[in-house]
Structure 1
Amino acid sequence: MALIVGTLAACSSGPRVPPASTSPGGPSTSFPTGAVIDTAPLGPPSLRAKSRWLPVRWAELPGFDDDALHEAWNAWLRNCERPHAALAGLCKDVRRLSIASPAEQRHWLQTQLQPYRVESLDGRSEGMLTSYYEPEMVGSRVRTAEFNIPLYRTPQSLGTRKPWYTRQQIETLPEAQAALAGREIAWLNDPVEALVLHIQGSGRLRITEPDGSVRQIRLAYAGTNDQPYKSVGRWLLDRGLITDASWPGISAWIAANPGRVQEMLWSNPRYVFFKEEPLEGLDAAFGPKGAQGVPLTPGRSIAVDRGSIPYGTPVWLYSKGMEVEYKRLVMAQDTGSAIVGAVRADYFMGWGKSAGDLAGRIKQPLRLWALWPKGLPVPQQ
């Protein structure tokens, strides 16, 4: 999912798997714990299309002994719904360890996986962390005087014209509007909110139906017009209109310059189309499906460049900035048009306003360690 300007931290938390406990019927399931001897030869670096993986000791991972690993196990269980072929063999243990303590999970990680420091091909180990989230919005199933900004399904002609019409053309050309007639899923009352939804790639919508009933749905990413993504923050910076390119800074400019908002919106030619999904029960406790095809877990899923890290890879993430510091296990489960490079990640923060406010402020240094099964070669592509 594409990002707005910054990143976001785990403001919303998904369901948590409890650690192992003792039941009245007997003792808890027992898993190995204790120190793991980490002295085996490390071997040479491995190369992928966009990164170099350098094997390292577990002691190099900042905060490894302190993470609440059971919070990451929800994301790993989701991984196992569509695992990478090389990681599928771990899933039996992953499911079994969902009732284990963090100490038992940590012991298993150290015995089964080898950490690799992810570097650029020229040896740089520091990159950038940003964040994204799932906005919550209010909409209408039918167009009204107030709710008049459409959100569309993919047009039938999308595959016959590449790239498809730009954002400005979609909103102004009769032929583009004719191709989208009848494809409306819902209507919003704010064009800037629509842009936020397009940038984030999915959202939660409290929608009023024609009969007046109200329910929640998810608008999930279905495709784009194949036009390049252009940051509205960069457009404003290049024109000297702002000095703070965080989303709060952009929002302040929008409030002060309503007459130029349309010009700003059209500076991003990319347009996103959506599909409607239910949002109830367990679906509401997780984020949208990422590029791996599994639902994202707040605070434990990241988007990566697939040429650097394969989908489904467990990753140790360290990032310290002015807003937050993260030292934790996450899963590579998504990608985005702006997520390019060896040490580059977009952190899924969750959903709602508090998540969005924090996400819009985060842009900070990043280091990553991929965790790969011992004895298995690192995939080259």
Structure 2
Amino acid sequence: MNTASSSATSASRSIHVIAMLSSVAALCAFVGSCGTVRGPAPPVGSRSAAPATEPPSVVFQAVPFSALPGWSNDTPAAALPSFAASCRALIGRGESAAIWRPACAAASAVAAHDDAGARAFFEAQFTPYRVTTADGIDVGRVTGYYEPRLKGSRARDDRYRYPLYAPPDDLLTVELGEIFPALQSERVRGRLDGKRVLPYWSRAEIEAGQARLSGRELVWIDDPVEAFFVHIQGSARVDLADRSSVRIGYADQNGHPYRSIGRVLIERGELTLEQASMQGIKAWATQHPAKLPSLLDENPSYVFFREIAADSDQGIDGPIGALGVPLAAGRAVAVDARFLPLGAPLFL
């Protein structure tokens, strides 16, 4: 079972999916309202896309727990720490709090490593729903995560020259709905220039030193490509020279749209679609170091980070997912919040 999601770069495989939902949570899955989180802001001056009005392209069919292959032999107690970690966020999320509070309270009463107790908990609190497409296809692609492990330093030197920054003090967020109710949920990122709000600096401008980022360095990395991919993946663990390590995760973004450098290389004819993987891009960078800075600047988006502590309550030491809680290894998959609430247990 998997109970959280994240934005990290992922690996995937085809698999059958069973979602465990309460009757109210099942409704939330259909309307797409109970599991949504706010992502990076759109660029300055952009308008958020209107929510889709088409019916969901997935179908939920209630099934008994006996229909779950291997359920009686599974180890559901291993999923409870992830669910408990999710509960801290779920019961504090406005309209979803009442939905999740009974299950979260019941989960806290299950003893650690008690598979029978955990199985009884899930069977009492949830109804399984088989997830299929509108055409009845019950095999899909499930996405999981990996966390890169990099070498770094707290101080810059000849080896460690590529910084990962905390959010700058002059990065401005404007919640437009607070000014114009018709623009509820819309926001922009920018910076002040006198009394004007301008777009925040792009990646190229930041790399050229135009942003005031001195002193905001969290760590320095020894590879510009690895540092760039942390911006895409959103998190990493960095091993420091003193043999300690630090986990960093997404904190904010400059408001500019993301542009794929893999797509740029394809458009230039330097890589084929099949070659434009992370490994292919890294190989290209090794072969063309002089071209690398200008290629990276093709993506104007720039991410800022924060340090992340381990979840001492649940013993989970993983990157932060879209729900804002740490992800446990082997217990997290990505979900589309239009169809499945974040935090809903899945049986794969």
Query: TM-score of the superposition, structure 2-length normalised?
Result: 0.67
Q: Which residue number in structure 2 is paired with residue 330 of structure 1?
A: none
In the TM superposition, what are the counterparts of 1:49-198 in structure 2 within 5 Å? 49=32, 51=56, 54-58=60-64, 61-84=68-91, 85=97, 86-99=99-112, 101-118=114-131, 128-159=141-172, 160-161=190-191, 163-172=199-208, 174-176=209-211, 179-198=212-231
Residues 308-360 of structure 1: CA distance to partner in whole angstroms, max 9, x if unpaired? 222222123xxxxxxxxxx3xxxxxxxxxxxxxxxxxxxxxxxxxxxxxxxxx
1:129 partner letter: V
Instruction: Label 1:189 to 1:230 Cα distance change in 2 as closer, same or farther (>3 A).
Output: same
Aligned to 1:2: 7
Partner-residue secondary structure (3-state), 2:128 = strand
With over 3 angstroms needed to count, the CA separation of the structure-2 counterparts of 1:44 and 1:226, relative to structure 1, is closer
The counterpart of 1:224, out of the listed 249, 253, 260, is: 253
Q: Structure 1 279/54 Cα, relative in aligned 2: closer, same or farther at 3 Å? A: closer
**Is 1:48 matched with 2:84?**
no
CA contact (8 A) 1:45 1:55 kept: no
In structure 1, the residue matched to 2:335 is 304
Shift in Å, 1:122: 8.9
Deviation, structure 1 residue 168: 1.8
CA RMSD for the aligned pairs?
A: 3.4
Unaligned 5+ residue runs, structure 2? 1-5, 14-25, 33-51, 92-96, 173-189, 192-197
**Cα gap change, 1:44 to 1:193, in 2 (>3 Å):** closer
C-alpha distance in structure 2 between counterparts of 1:119 and 1:225, whole Å: 38
Q: Deviations over 1:180-208 (max 9, x none)?
A: 12222221111011012111212222234
Counterpart residue number, 2:317:
286
Which has the higher mean CA deviation after the structures are superposed, 88-97 or 127-136?
127-136
* Pairs aligned (count): 276
Q: Which residue of 1 aligns with 2:239?
A: 206
Q: Is the 8 A contact 1:164 1:225 kept in 2?
A: yes
Assess, with a 3 A threshold, how the Cα gap between structure 1 residues 248 and 83 changes in structure 2: closer, same or farther: same
CA shift, 1:228, in A, is 2.0
Local SS of the residue matching 1:205: strand
Mapped to 2, the partners of 1:289 and 1:3 lie a distance apart of 9
CA-CA distance at 1:93 after TM superposition: 2.3
Does the CA-based 8 Å contact 2:162-2:227 persist in structure 1?
yes
Q: In 1, distance between residues paired with 2:300 and 2:252?
A: 14
Q: Show the 5 A alignment for 1:246-285.
A: 246-278=277-309, 285=316
Shift of 1:266: 2.4
SS of match in other structure, 2:255: coil
Secondary structure in 1 aligned to 2:207?
Answer: helix
Go from structure 1 to structure 2 and tell me whether the alpha carbon gap of 1:253 and 1:66 turns closer, same or farther (over 3 Å shift): farther
Whole-angstrom distance in 1 between the partners of 2:266 and 2:30: 37
Q: Deviations over 1:258-306 (max 9, x none)?
A: 3333243223222110122446977985213323232211111233333
Shift of 1:151: 1.2
Structure 1 unaligned spans of 5+: 10-42, 317-326, 328-381
Relative to 1, partners in 2 of residues 1:65 and 1:185: Cα closer, same or farther, differing over 3 Å? same
CA distance in 2, matches of 1:109, 1:283: 19
Matches of 1:94 and 1:284 in 2, distance apart?
16
Q: Which amino acid aligns with 1:181?
A: S
2:178 counterpart residue number: none
Is the 1:149–1:191 Cα contact (8 Å) retained in structure 2? yes
Residues 110 and 214 of structure 1: CA distance in aligned 2, closer, same or farther (over 3 Å)? closer
Task: Work out the CA distance in 2 between the residues paired with 1:125 and 1:286.
Answer: 32
Say if 2:164 and 2:221, in contact at 8 Å, map to a contact too.
Answer: yes
Pairs within 5 Å for 1:273-352: 273-278=304-309, 285-316=316-347, 327=348
Q: Distance in 1 between matches of 2:210 and 2:113?
A: 59
With over 3 angstroms needed to count, the CA separation of the structure-2 counterparts of 1:283 and 1:175, relative to structure 1, is farther
What is the TM-score when the length of structure 1 is the normalising length? 0.62
Give me the whole-angstrom Cα distance separating, in 1, the residues matched to 2:293 and 2:315.
33
- In the aligned structure 2, how far is the partner of 1:293 from the partner of 1:61? 29
CA spacing shift, 1:284–1:91, aligned 2, 3 Å:
closer
CA offsets, 1:243-269, max 9 Å, x none? Answer: 234333333333333333324322322
Q: CA deviation at 1:171?
A: 0.7
Counterpart contact for 1:222–1:273, Cα < 8 Å: yes
CA distance in 2, matches of 1:289, 1:218: 10
